[in-house]
Amino acid sequence: MKRITQSPRADWQAQVESLGLTYHTIDGQLYWDESAHYRFSTRDIETLEKSTAELQRISIEAAERAIRDNWRARLAISPSAWQEIIQSWERDDLSLYGRFDLMWDGAGHPKLLEYNADTPTGLLEASVVQWQWLQQTRPNADQFNSIHEKLLASWPAWPQKQIHFCAQRDAEEDWRTLLYLIDTCQQSGKTTIDLAVEDIGWNQGMQNFVDHQDRPMDLLFKLYPWEWMWQEDFSRHLSGRCQRFLEPVWKMLWSNKAFLVLLWEMFEGHPNLLRASFTSDGMPSHVEKPFFGREGTNVRLIRNNDLLESSDGPWQSQPKVYQELHPEVSFDGNHPIIGSWIIGGQPAGIGIREDTSLITANTSRFIPHWF
């Protein structure tokens, strides 16, 4: 694994915008950054693929354990949501996608930082945008990237002919991710309707969720976290109807940072895991994360009992997980995180985010790769 600098394509802005990546620059700073790329060996890619499949396997085992041993309180999940999680898991409600965030420098084993299993973004750039970059700059090389093909192959698993899609009205990155998913869904032969989360309604007569034109929604892909849904007024209508949503409600198990503790308790010493606990005892160097934090907010990095770095955010009052601090991974002062995608239950490719900060945030740069 090497980081290599090069000149960007002369018309890179027009190229990425043609694929929908309109947020390539955020507040004057590059988000899509092709002035550098990461090169892997075939063996590196095989390691990442194998590690991703293994993390998916143990995550399934740990979810079974969480339900069997009633981890509800330890995961800070409400009783009403917990009952829906159990029923969803027992129904084997289908999942479309998820993203493991890994730390690795090409040596040893990739280590899991967290599982973005419910509402992961970065999909458009990891799929078609960096593939375009590869085809235009290194047409004879390859990339760990079958995301698009696996999405197209996954949609037929749902019997519904029409699927609704929603995201928050003013969230540009979410909408671009959503529009890309809509495109893959339509290519699979289904029809789609999109709307803002804020426009979802409830029709008492039909006893069903409805869209902005009062049409019933039989299946809704929501780029909106389950933990937020359960806190809102309309959550009183969720019981018995969670099978109408993608991602499935059982994804609340995996997207919760407390799930890292369960994984460690079950698979202590696993080469792809870092120690995780509900206390920092015995870990003078650790990372403190809120259970339901998002985009690198409210994270504290402690090294030898001293604060190394921290980030602000709205989740400070949430319960915390403490994860062993991984040794610093740095390429010329840049700290990459590898997002390894699961599509239809299978490893599908990677996208890399990097920052000069040790904490990866929403504006951290996306860097393409090849092997």
Interval 277-331: pLDDT, tens: 999 999 999 999 999 998 899 999 999 999 999 999 999 999 999 999 999 999 9
CA distance 89 to 62: 12
Main-chain phi, psi angles of 132, to 5 degrees: -60, -45
Decide if pLDDT at 362 tops 90.
Answer: no
pLDDT of amino acid 124: 98
Interval 64-84: pLDDT, tens: 999 999 999 999 999 999 999
Decide if pLDDT at 85 tops 90.
Answer: yes
DSSP state of 361: -
pLDDT, average across residues 42-50: 98
Helix locations, 155-196, DSSP H: 172-187
pLDDT of amino acid 189: 96
Interval 240-278: pLDDT, tens: 999 999 999 999 999 999 999 999 999 999 999 999 999
pLDDT, average across residues 43-48: 98
CA distance 307 to 301: 6
Of the candidates 257, 215, 299, the one whose C-alpha atom is nearest the C-alpha of residue 116 is: 257
Reported pTM: 0.96
DSSP code string of 69-80: TT-TTTTT--HH
pLDDT, average across residues 208-212: 96
Decide if pLDDT at 348 tops 90.
Answer: yes
Computed on alpha carbons and rounded to an integer, the radius of gyration of the chain in Å comes to 20
Interval 138-192: pLDDT, tens: 999 999 999 999 999 999 999 999 999 999 999 999 999 999 999 999 999 999 9
Domain boundaries, the chain: 2-257+330-370, 275-324
pLDDT of amino acid 295: 87
Yes or no: say if 75 and 69 are a contact pair by the CB < 8 Å rule. Answer: no
Amino acid at 329: V
Write down the mean pLDDT value for the chain.
97
Element (H, E) at 209: strand 208-210
Yes or no: say if 261 and 321 are a contact pair by the CB < 8 Å rule. Answer: yes
